[in-house]
Amino acid sequence: MKNIGLGLQWMLFMITASIVVPISMADIFSLNPAETATLMQNTMFIVGIGSFLNGIIGHRMPITESPAGIWWSVLVIYSSYVGIYYGTKTEVLRVFYCGMIFSSFLFILLSLTGLIKKAAKLFTPTITFIYLILLSLQLSGIFILRMAGINAKNHTIDPVIAILSITVVFITFYFGSSKIPIIKQFSLIISLMTGWILFAIFGKAQQMIYSDKIFQLPKIFAFGTPKFDLGMVTTSFFVTFMLIMNMFASINTMGNIVCPKEEIPPSKYVKSGLMSGFNQILGAIFNVVGTVPVSSSTGFVVQIGEKSIKPFLLGAVFVSCLSLLPNFMGLMSSLPAAIGYSVSFVLFSKMISMALFELRKIINNVDYTYMVIGISLLAGIGVLFLKPESVKELPSLISSFIGNGLVVGTVLGIILEQGYILKNKIKQKK
């Protein structure tokens, strides 16, 4: 019974962690209600399947698969190319799915050849720290905006939503810090339900979308078959390595929680890489943003105080099964976005503490390491302030790289650190 309850909580976390991307995607590409419902269903189906496969075959850790923020940022950039490089928004989506297929093959190739093990060595505690800090900072902006009720339709702060969001944050912190085990374990459900009730009382709940169908299978190629595009293929090459870095960071940070005294075997990276490649293919087939293991799962595990894999796997099965019920998906999609952002704010605040924990592992070459961190964070944070239109005139390959502070800061950190390591090796040989 306990596992079922925790599984339901994992289910809600998976849905909460993934619901923002399809809703935002529907808004950007002007999808109608039926198309939006299809996108929501397909996304949740893939989230559940991907989480289960990686949990039972891949890394075998309680790490949720969720639509990759990096892929999402690329899609946002490419949507601005309609009328410039592409004729319609549908064509952009088809090109995007082509990039995901290329990424899947690259994932599988690197995993089968064992090269992914060497790539894992690049993700040192220094790089993990840089990545987690930039990831948290990059998402903090949208967290605050949506918690304040600011969106594409409303450009001013909604005082009621802002106060309710802050209330949900405090509630989540309070129940997550409870000394009563059962309350701590189910703190997320309690916070979500409490927030949902409060939003409904103050008239800020969203209307549920009803369907006359009881059961519905996800649609294949709902928005068209992939279309080859050299620019997107090239872009996906760099995106794949960022996804690999994200995978390493997620595995490493979760490893610090579930097995703190054990070294993570390289086989976990290889198996997770194979499953991630497979998940990218599934994402392209079902026309959703490709999933990736999300580091916020660590914050969730810390929040509920449960490290075992069984509730996680149950949650993944629940998500995939319930995605086949249109009315349940309609109910889940009616969860006010501000509540999801408020809970995510708490989880990512815990990610900051995880990043600082990684920093404590640095014992050698501290001065140089701090310089690498300083330069990387300064560059990455600076890029976060660039507006999308400022890079729109650049080639898509360059704009997708330069326009992402997370990518710029992390890659710069790797270059600087590896350059220093190479320099020391050359000195030692002399």
Per-residue burial over 30-55, b = 16 or more CB atoms within 10 Å of its CB, e = otherwise: ebeeeebbbbbbbbbbbbbbbbbbbb
In this prediction, residue 119 has a pLDDT band, given cuts at 50, 70 and 90, of confident
Q: Model confidence over 76-114: pLDDT tens digits?
A: 767 767 776 777 888 888 989 999 999 999 999 998 888
Residue 357 C-alpha from the chain's centroid? 21
Q: Model confidence over 134-151: pLDDT tens digits?
A: 878 877 887 888 888 887
Task: Look at residue 318 in the predicted model and tell me its pLDDT.
Answer: 92
In this prediction, residue 396 has a pLDDT band, given cuts at 50, 70 and 90, of low
Query: What's the whole-number average pLDDT of the chain?
Result: 82
Residue found under tokens 């002007």: 30
State the average pLDDT over residues 330-341: 76
Q: Model confidence over 8-19: pLDDT tens digits?
A: 888 888 887 777
Q: What is the percent of the chain with per-residue pLDDT over 70, rounded to a whole number?
A: 92
State the average pLDDT over residues 41-58: 92
Label residue 201 exposed, middle or buried (CB < 10 Å: 0-12, 13-18, 19+). exposed
In this prediction, residue 400 has a pLDDT band, given cuts at 50, 70 and 90, of low
Output the pTM of the full model: 0.72
48 pLDDT above the threshold of 90: yes
Going by C-alpha positions, the residue among 386, 426, 73 that lies closest to residue 238 is: 73
Query: Tokens at residue 409, please?
Result: 């800061």
Task: Look at residue 397 in the predicted model and tell me its pLDDT.
Answer: 63
State the average pLDDT over residues 394-408: 73
Residue 403 vs residue 64, higher pLDDT: 64
Task: Look at residue 182 in the predicted model and tell me its pLDDT.
Answer: 67
Task: Look at residue 333 in the predicted model and tell me its pLDDT.
Answer: 67
Task: Look at residue 35 in the predicted model and tell me its pLDDT.
Answer: 79
In this prediction, residue 167 has a pLDDT band, given cuts at 50, 70 and 90, of very high
Task: Look at residue 152 in the predicted model and tell me its pLDDT.
Answer: 67
> Which residues are CB-neighbours of 427 under 8 A, at least 6 positions away?
none
Q: Model confidence over 176-213: pLDDT tens digits?
A: 787 776 677 677 778 888 988 899 898 887 777 777 77
